[in-house]
Amino acid sequence: MAQQLAMIIDASKCIDCKGCMIACKVANNVPEDQWRNWIKGESGMSRPGKHNGTTKFQPGACMHCDKPTCVEACPTGATYKDEMTGEVVIDESLCIGCGNCIPACPYGARFRNATKRKADKCNYCPERRAQGLLPACVDTCPTKARVFGDINDPDSEAGRLFLKNKEQLTRVAARTETKPNMFYIGDPGPRDWGGEAVTPASMIAMKEAAPFIKGIVGLSGLGVLAMLGRQLIAGSDTDHKENDDV
Partner 1 sequence: MSDTMYKRHDGSDIFMHWFNAVCWLLLLLTGIGLIQNPVIDPLGSGYPAVLRSLVGGGGNLLLLHEALGILWIIGFLVYLIINFKGARFFLAEVFAISPARDMLWMVKKMVLMTLGPKPLKMLGMDPVLPDQGYYNMGQKAFAQASVVGGVVIAVTGVVMFLSDRTFGAAATGMIGWAVTLHFITVGLVFAGLLVHIYMAAISPEERPGFKSMFTGVVPGEYAKHHHRLWFDKVQSDDQQVSE
Residues at the interface with partner 1 (CB under 8 A):
72, 74-78, 91-100, 102, 111-112, 114, 116-118, 200-203, 205-207, 209-210, 213-214, 216-217, 219-221, 223-224, 226-228, 230-231, 234, 236-237, 239-240, 242-246
**How many Å apart are CA 55 and CA 11, to the nearest integer?**
10
**How many Å apart are CA 24 and CA 198, to the nearest integer?**
27
- As a whole number of Å, the end-to-end CA separation of the chain is 76
> What is the nearest approach in angstroms of partner 1 to the Cβ of residue 85?
18
Tell me whether residue 51 or residue 230 sits nearer to partner 1 (CB atom): 230
Strand, coil or helix: 88: strand
> What is the nearest approach in angstroms of partner 1 to the Cβ of residue 151?
27
> What is the nearest approach in angstroms of partner 1 to the Cβ of residue 34?
10
**How many Å apart are CA 148 and CA 166, to the nearest integer?**
16
Tell me whether residue 168 or residue 202 sits nearer to partner 1 (CB atom): 202
Contact 38, 60 (CB under 8 A): yes
DSSP 30: P
> What is the nearest approach in angstroms of partner 1 to the Cβ of residue 98?
5
Contact 185, 158 (CB under 8 A): no
Q: Which amino acid is at 110?
A: R
Tell me whether residue 26 or residue 96 sits nearer to partner 1 (CB atom): 96
Q: How many CA atoms lie within 13 A of 222 on its CB side?
A: 6
Among the listed residues 131, 100, 96, 126, the one whose alpha carbon sits nearest the alpha carbon of residue 36? 126
Our separate counts of H helices and E strands in the chain read 8, 10
Tell me whether residue 33 or residue 167 sits nearer to partner 1 (CB atom): 33
> What is the nearest approach in angstroms of partner 1 to the Cβ of residue 229?
8
Contacts of residue 222, defined as CB under 8 A and 6 or more positions apart, other chains included, come to none
Tell me whether residue 111 or residue 184 sits nearer to partner 1 (CB atom): 111
Tell me whether residue 163 or residue 224 sits nearer to partner 1 (CB atom): 224
> What is the nearest approach in angstroms of partner 1 to the Cβ of residue 128?
22
Tell me whether residue 127 or residue 239 sits nearer to partner 1 (CB atom): 239
> What is the nearest approach in angstroms of partner 1 to the Cβ of residue 222?
10
Among the listed residues 15, 1, 24, the one whose alpha carbon sits nearest the alpha carbon of residue 138? 24
